[in-house]
RNA sequence: GCCGUUGUAGCUCAGGGGUAGAGCGCUCCCUUGGUAAGGGCGAGGUCAAGAGUUCAAAUCUCUUCAAUGGCACCA
């Protein structure tokens, strides 16, 4: 088949769909289903074929779902704010607005060629003012709420204010408790501000001089910036924070309600880092307090030193002494390098007998040991350093644990339970409960759930991001901007570059001198209304104040935290998404989106942030589902061969020809070494899907990409697309002939119906490679199809090769009456169970472990009849010279005949 | 160190208690008026290794090995 012919067919079909406005989605009476790809950054270099795996997969699923009678929400917009877009603008020395615009257009044309069935009327970019207006609006909602730990939900901040005013509640360690307070008005205001879910705080931040901005913990990998791999320094700065830690428990526990890949769930759980234990305070003689967190409070009487994180030097030394809260013994305090300042309280109670790191530290610094838990004998035997009689093992352990290889970190009965006032024999599980009672009754400490998760740093010293809807008065107090004045638009500014390598960050917006200061009045609800020149004169001068805008911008995660909601209601200018639309698309579901497809690299960033925003908006009553995404799938990463010349420089794939597994550089004729690498700019091995479509056709390309491997598995780009081309040509030709000749009967209806069954099942389970394999198999085994059956095959083919399917369908439609206008309007075919039932089966005859022949028999043949058939079989007779036993194995039907000679 | 995933033909992957499969690549043949192409025949495997369960194991169970992803002085 001539490629120009195929291109023509595909162009015509695209036009046909465009005219019919096939992809437009409206609320209707069908069952809704929403499919979403991860939000793409419109990068400067555009998409390569690796990116298309997920997109083609969701398109196949969307077409399949629609053909099954669902109303499918499937759209794509662009995450166009943020570092990637801005870095590209800096590198190419153009304004980000221009580069963003160009990049989006470039990407749209790449996506266009793939014929993804996105509803174009639902597309938007995060940089659109009528989009980021709502990003700012959501920020204000978060700013104006707090997390009520008593109800476990976010509430409007006014509720907290009135609670504190009522004097019935106190705030302790950021938690609300029912206890009378005597706060002053000023204290209340301060506490209320500190409890906001978006709050300003002086925090140690990750300052990246080379990027000229601070970064979130999640954006740091191995001490370097994830983007660009630049060094990162700690610095104290006043920054906006998001109180995500308040949601740690819900973020953790609700993971189990989601249909997500286990590795993503475990990554999020790791990141949130839930651990349960006790907070215990040790007092020093000088009155200083050491708050420690322990997951093993039952070892309280085994503490022989307190270890604090080593802040300044790396020298481990004793610095203080504390009193044990029960025994009143004196315990030394040491600085230890193994203690992490950021984790827990940065201080721990060291129990050398029962913690390996404490064990080693104590040995090194000659600190004593106090075993309190009894190990089992197997452990004692295995870990004893010197040989000792078995009866003496436990005594040795009790007196000198250094005679053993390591600390005993397991559980077990306490050696001296009386210390916890336990006097009867109880199980280890009950022992834990008693220890808890003891610690709580004696008020030594309290039981808490601790999380590794930190609050989310939300400020960036960048130009290309959403401005905060916040201003400051002369005293530095923050005020939200009046909701009705949103959006706060970015100033048109051509000096947008951050100042790199500065000692401290200076946000680029500081240079927007006309923008950064405003006149305004404080409204009754506490927000600021900004006034233009004419308005100022209508207010008394003592009401009008000068404010400075917040000069930092939001991180690019902000826009991607809620975009999935906007697809449901993209043009609404009275709310970010209406309840009616939510009720239609997501009623009674766990997640608002049914299926979410995207790479594992966002496991702890976007997927955690988006869940957090969702939960806040859910608590405040704006959303109807407890989670954003019900089912998540990660397409595998695609690698491709990269080519390196003798100097070790990567050569562009365009300049390479591969023959017999040797690579030659076309321009120089020199041999190249081949090695695989992640597809992309770095290895110069990115392949533009547009080129592939032009060269082989969209349908062939789509099927080829899907056939390489299961969607969720990493794969290597296979440049040899010929196999799929052959299949395409072959089935195209075959069906074309069938349509031209108009056969009345199909060769093998059973095979066709088996294919319906298997293609359907494979698509449902997201195994598109095997779905295509089933179609290839059908094509290899059946020659003639009736017109009706041609339609069925085209329907099966449609999700994968939509143009070819539609093209041939239109020919059939012109010959047959009563067919709907487009192939998608047909209901997905069902198989006839009667036609896939086997009547004949193959029965292997196994003689002493070797298959000697295979009989083809009717499925209902009895054992006796089979035995006669075997005895009559000349091929088998020669093996039956000696005596033998014969057995027919059945499972619903005869499976195998086993012959054992003796 | 902890948690997860994967080992099947040279490559990419199906299958999965009952004859070992597909596409590419490779051999050979046919087409020479679609030719930097098309079609056909064929060769290729101890299903990572070992043990167990079973009449029967690539498939189930356990152990080991190897790849790979994530987390990690987490108290």
Taking the stretch 738-767 of protein chain A, residues with Cβ within 7 Å of any atom in nucleic acid chain B are 767
Which pLDDT score, from 0 to 100, does residue A878 have?
66
pLDDT tens for residues A592-645? 999 999 887 787 889 999 999 999 999 999 999 999 999 998 888 777 777 777
Residue nearest to nucleotide B3 (CA to C1'): A266
- Strand B proximal to A340 Cβ, under 7 A: yes
Cite the DSSP H helix spans in A229-275.
Answer: 248-253, 262-272
Three-state DSSP class for residue A277: strand
Which of residues A757 and A625 earns the better pLDDT score?
A625
Cα(A268)–Cα(A713) distance, integer angstroms: 20
Question: Which class for A61: exposed (0-12), middle (13-18), buried (19 or more C-beta within 10 A)?
Answer: buried
Q: CB neighbours (10 Å) of residue A265?
A: 17
Is strand B in 7 Å reach of the CB of A2?
A: yes
Q: What is the DSSP letter of A401?
A: G
Interatomic distance A407 CA / B9 C1' (Å): 51
What pLDDT is attached to residue A164?
95
Q: Which of residues 814-843 of A touch strand B (CB under 7 A)?
A: 842
Q: Give yes or no for CB of A599 within 7 Å of strand B.
A: no
Whole-number average pLDDT of chain A: 87
* A240: pLDDT strictly greater than 90: yes
**A458 close to A138: Cβ distance less than 8 angstroms:** no
- Mean pLDDT, residues A548-569: 95
Residues (510-539, chain A) with CB within 7 Å of strand B atoms: none
Specify which of A9-23, A249-263, A654-668, A774-788 reaches the highest per-range mean pLDDT: A9-23
Distance CA A486, CA A481 (A): 8
Nucleotides of B under 7 A from a protein CB: 3-5, 11-15, 18-19, 22-26, 34, 37-39, 55, 68-75
Strand B at less than 7 A from CB of A217: no
Is the CB of residue A296 inside 7 Å of nucleic acid strand B? yes
Place A875 in a pLDDT band, splitting at 50, 70 and 90. low
Q: What is the pLDDT of residues A660-687, one digit of tens each?
A: 556 777 777 777 776 666 777 667 777 8
Which residue's entry shows tokens 């499925």? A859
More confident residue, A759 or A858: A759
Question: What is the mean predicted confidence (pLDDT) over A99-124?
Answer: 93
pLDDT number for residue A488: 96
Mean pLDDT value of segment A518-537 = 93
Judge contact between A32 and A73, C-beta under 8 A. Answer: yes
pLDDT per residue as tens digits for the range A345-382? 889 999 999 998 899 899 889 999 999 998 877 788 87
- Tell me, in Å, how far CA of A662 is from C1' of B28? 23
Q: Evaluate if the CB of A844 falls below 7 Å from strand B.
A: yes
Query: Residue A2 above 70 pLDDT?
Result: yes
Distance (Å, whole) CA A858 – CA A447: 71
Contact A303, A362 (CB under 8 A): no
Q: Reduce the secondary structure of A324-388 to three states and give it as a string.
A: CCCCCCEEEEEEECCCCCCCCCCEEEECCCCCHHHHHHHHHCCCCCCCCECCCHHHHHHHECCCC
CA distance A660 to A342: 56
Instruction: Give the distance, in angstroms, between residue A795 CA and nucleotide B43 C1'.
Output: 38
Choose the most confident range, by mean pLDDT, from A718-732, A810-824, A854-868: A810-824
At A502, the pLDDT band (50, 70, 90 cuts) reads low
Residue A618 Cβ < 7 Å to strand B: no
- Cβ of A604 < 7 Å from strand B? yes
Q: In chain A, which residues from 48 to 67 place their CB closer than 7 Å to nucleic acid strand B?
A: none
pLDDT (tens digit per residue) in A200-217: 988 878 888 888 888 877
Distance between the alpha carbon (CA) of A751 and the C1' atom of B23, Å? 20
Give the residue from A162, A155, A126 showing the smallest Cα distance to A141.
A155
Nearest residue to B11 via alpha carbon and C1': A718
User: Which of A1-5, A567-571, A882-886 is predicted least confidently?
Assistant: A882-886
Q: Give the distance, in angstroms, between the CA of residue A831 and the centroid of all CA atoms in the same chain.
A: 36
The CA distance from A46 to A688, in Å, is 8
From residue A340, how far is each of A207, A308, A336, A500 by CA, in Å? 20, 8, 9, 30
User: Helix axis angle, A3-20 relative to A698-708, nearest 10°?
Assistant: 100
Amino acid A224: pLDDT: 77
Nearest nucleotide to A450, CA against C1' atoms: B74
**Residue with the larger pLDDT of the pair A75 and A891:** A75
Tokens found for residue A9: 């067919």
Query: A27-41, A264-278, A799-813: which has the minimum mean pLDDT?
Result: A264-278
A891 touches strand B (CB under 7 A): yes
Residues 767-796 of A with CB under 7 A from strand B: 767, 769-770, 773, 776-777, 780
- Other beta carbons within 10 Å of A273: 14
Give me the residue label for tokens 């293609």.
Answer: A759
Asked whether strand B has any atom less than 7 Å from the CB of A263, the reply is yes
Give the tens place of pLDDT for each residue, A777-797.
Answer: 888 878 889 999 999 999 999
Confidence of residue A688 (pLDDT cuts 50, 70, 90): confident
Q: What percent of chain A has pLDDT over 90?
A: 46
CB A239 within 8 A of CB A203: yes
A322 or A880, higher pLDDT: A322
* Chain A 656-675 residues whose Cβ is under 7 Å from strand B: 660-661
Model ipTM? 0.81
Please state at what angle helix A698-708 crosses helix A722-741, rounded to 10 degrees. 130
The pLDDT tens digits for A804-854 are 999 999 999 999 988 999 999 999 999 888 887 767 777 777 766 566 667
Tokens of A193: 């501000």
Residue nearest to nucleotide B70 (CA to C1'): A267
- pTM as predicted: 0.89
């Amino acid at each position: 088949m001539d490629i120009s012919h195929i291109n023509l067919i595909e162009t015509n079909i695209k036009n046909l769909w465009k005219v019919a406005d096939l992809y437009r989605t409206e609320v209707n009476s069908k069952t809704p289903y929403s499919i979403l790809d991860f939000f793409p950054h419109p990068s400067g270099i555009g998409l390569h074929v690796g990116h298309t795996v997920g997109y083609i997969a969701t398109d196949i699923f969307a077409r399949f779902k629609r053909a099954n009678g669902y109303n499918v929400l499937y759209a794509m917009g662009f995450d166009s704010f943020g570092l990637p877009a801005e870095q590209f603008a800096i590198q190419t020395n153009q304004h980000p607005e221009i580069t963003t615009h160009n990049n989006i257009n470039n990407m749209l044309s790449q996506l266009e060629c793939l014929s993804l069935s996105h509803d174009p009327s639902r597309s938007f970019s995060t940089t659109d003012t009528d989009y980021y207006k709502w990003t700012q609006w959501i920020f204000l909602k978060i700013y104006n709420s707090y997390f009520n730990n008593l109800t476990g939900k976010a509430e409007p901040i006014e509720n907290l204010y009135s609670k504190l005013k009522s004097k019935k509640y106190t705030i302790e360690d950021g938690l609300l408790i029912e206890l009378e307070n005597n706060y002053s008005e000023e204290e209340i205001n301060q506490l209320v501000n500190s409890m906001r879910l978006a709050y300003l705080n002086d925090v140690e931040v990750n300052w990246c001089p080379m990027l000229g901005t601070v970064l979130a913990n999640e954006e740091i990998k191995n001490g370097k910036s994830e983007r660009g791999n630049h060094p990162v320094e700690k610095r104290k700065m006043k920054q906006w924070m998001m109180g995500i830690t308040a949601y740690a428990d819900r973020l953790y526990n609700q993971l189990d309600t989601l249909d997500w890949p286990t590795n993503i769930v475990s990554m999020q759980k790791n990141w949130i880092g839930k651990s349960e234990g006790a907070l215990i305070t040790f007092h020093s003689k000088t009155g200083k307090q050491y708050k420690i967190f322990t997951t093993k409070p039952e070892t309280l009487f085994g503490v022989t030193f307190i270890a604090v994180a080593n802040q300044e030097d790396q020298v481990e030394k004793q610095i203080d002494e504390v009193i044990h809260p029960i025994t009143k013994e004196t315990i030394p305090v040491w600085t230890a390098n193994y203690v992490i300042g950021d984790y827990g309280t940065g201080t721990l109670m060291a129990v050398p007998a029962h913690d390996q790191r404490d064990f080693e530290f104590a040995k090194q610094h000659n600190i004593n040991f106090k075993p309190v838990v009894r190990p089992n004998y197997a452990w004692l035997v295995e870990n004893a350093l010197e040989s000792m009689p078995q009866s003496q093992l436990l005594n040795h352990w009790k007196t000198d644990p250094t005679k053993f290889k390591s600390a005993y970190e397991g559980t077990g009965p306490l050696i001296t339970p009386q210390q916890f006032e336990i006097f009867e024999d109880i199980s280890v599980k009950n022992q834990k409960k008693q220890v808890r009672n003891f610690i709580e009754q004696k008020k030594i400490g309290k039981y808490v759930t601790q999380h590794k998760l930190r609050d989310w740093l939300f400020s960036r010293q960048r130009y290309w991001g959403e401005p905060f809807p916040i201003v400051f008065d002369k005293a530095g107090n923050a005020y939200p901007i009046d909701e009705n004045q949103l959006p706060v638009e970015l100033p048109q500014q051509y000096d947008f570059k951050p100042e790199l390598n500065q000692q401290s960050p200076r946000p680029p917006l500081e240079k927007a001198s006309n923008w950064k200061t405003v006149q305004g009045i404080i409204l009754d609800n506490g927000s600021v209304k900004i006034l233009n020149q004419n308005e100022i004169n209508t207010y008394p001068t003592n009401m009008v104040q000068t404010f400075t805008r917040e000069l930092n911008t939001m991180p690019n995660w902000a826009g991607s935290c809620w975009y999935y909601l906007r697809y449901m209601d993209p043009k609404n200018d009275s709310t970010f998404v209406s309840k009616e639309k939510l009720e239609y698309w997501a009623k009674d579901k766990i997640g608002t989106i049914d299926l979410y497809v995207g790479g594992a690299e966002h496991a702890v960033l976007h997927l955690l942030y988006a869940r957090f925003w969702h939960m806040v908006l859910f608590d405040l009553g704006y959303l109807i589902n407890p989670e954003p995404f019900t089912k998540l799938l990660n397409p595998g990463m695609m690698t491709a061969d990269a080519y390196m010349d003798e100097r070790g420089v990567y050569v562009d794939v365009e300049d390479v020809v591969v023959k017999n597994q040797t690579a030659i550089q076309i321009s120089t004729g020199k041999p190249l070494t081949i090695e695989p690498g992640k597809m992309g700019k770095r290895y110069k091995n990115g392949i533009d899907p547009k080129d592939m479509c032009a060269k082989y056709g969209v349908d062939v390309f789509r099927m080829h990409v899907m056939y390489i491997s299961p969607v969720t598995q990493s794969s290597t780009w296979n440049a040899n697309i010929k196999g799929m081309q052959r299949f395409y040509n072959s089935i195209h030709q075959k069906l074309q002939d069938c349509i031209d000749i108009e056969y009345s009967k199909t060769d093998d209806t059973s095979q066709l119906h088996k294919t319906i069954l298997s293609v359907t099942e494979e698509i449902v389970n997201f195994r598109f490679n095997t779905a295509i394999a089933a179609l290839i198999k059908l094509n290899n085994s059946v020659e003639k199809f009736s017109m009706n059956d041609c339609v069925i095959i085209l329907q099966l083919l449609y999700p994968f090769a939509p143009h070819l399917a539609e093209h041939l369908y239109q020919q059939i439609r012109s010959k047959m009456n009563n067919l709907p206008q487009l192939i998608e309007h047909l209901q997905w075919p069902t198989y006839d169970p009667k036609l896939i039932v086997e009547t004949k089966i193959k029965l292997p005859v196994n003689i002493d472990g070797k298959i000697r022949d295979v009989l083809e028999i009717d499925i209902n043949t009895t054992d006796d009849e089979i035995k006669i058939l075997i005895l009559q079989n000349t091929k088998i007779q020669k093996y039956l010279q000696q005596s033998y036993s014969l057995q027919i194995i059945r499972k619903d039907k005869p499976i195998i005949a086993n012959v054992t000679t003796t």
